[in-house]
């Protein structure tokens, strides 16, 4: 019988080559003022990375789900960059809305909105702009763009559409196991 050594064999040269290519990427990400976790915002077309970061924070504050990874919120707000590139009115709407949020945050907390530490403080700032067009537009779009991601559905217990499976009547409509039997 032949024995196979399952331990990984690392070559020093391969390790050093990989480490050398990682250093410039980390240096570039940290000099732009964004952390590695915010690198997704660097490829923005119309909006600035700071605006996208603020939009993500707004999305998290409007629909807070601690169990969700930031990637779902990024997926939900990235289309706003494309919309802003195509339509100058949307670009202006978002820029003005974020500028107002940042101004309110600086007046109350001396930092921009995205850097306000406490969620309750950010929510108070959002309450101040909840009647504005930008807030209504972003919130309305987030309902669809966030919750229509099929990867999220199992996290909320939603099994998806039942029409192709015969409807809800045939898929557990009357499966009430928490009531006592009459």
pLDDT tens over the chain, length 182 residues? 556 566 666 666 666 666 666 655 555 544 444 455 667 777 777 888 889 899 999 999 999 999 999 999 999 999 998 998 999 999 999 999 999 999 999 999 999 999 999 999 999 999 998 899 888 999 999 999 999 999 998 888 887 777 787 777 766 666 777 777 76
Q: What is the pLDDT of residue 46?
A: 82
Contact 149, 72 (CB under 8 A): yes
How many Cα atoms sit within 13 Å of 103 on the Cβ side?
Answer: 8
Q: How far apart are CA 72 and CA 97, in angstroms?
A: 22
Could you tell me the end-to-end alpha-carbon distance of the chain, in angstroms, rounded to an integer?
A: 64
Nearest to 142 by CA among 52, 92, 74, 51: 74
Nearest to 115 by CA among 35, 16, 7, 25: 35
């Amino acid at each position: 019988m032949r024995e196979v050594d399952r331990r990984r064999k690392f070559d020093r040269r391969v390790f050093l080559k990989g480490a050398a290519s990682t250093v410039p990427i980390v240096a570039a990400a940290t000099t732009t003022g964004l952390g590695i976790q915010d690198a997704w915002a660097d490829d923005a077309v119309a909006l600035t990375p700071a605006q996208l970061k603020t939009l993500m924070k707004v999305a998290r504050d409007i629909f807070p789900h601690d169990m969700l990874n930031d990637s779902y919120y990024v997926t939900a707000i990235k289309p706003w960059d494309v919309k802003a590139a195509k339509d100058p009115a949307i670009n202006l709407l978002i820029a003005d809305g974020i500028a107002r949020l940042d101004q309110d945050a600086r007046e109350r907390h001396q930092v921009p909105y995205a850097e306000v530490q406490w969620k309750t403080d950010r929510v108070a700032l959002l309450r101040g702009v909840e009647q504005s067009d930008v807030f209504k537009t972003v919130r309305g779009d987030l309902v669809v763009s966030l919750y229509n991601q099929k990867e999220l559905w199992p996290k909320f217990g939603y099994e998806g559409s039942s029409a192709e499976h015969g409807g809800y009547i045939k898929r557990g409509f009357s499966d009430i196991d928490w009531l006592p039997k009459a």
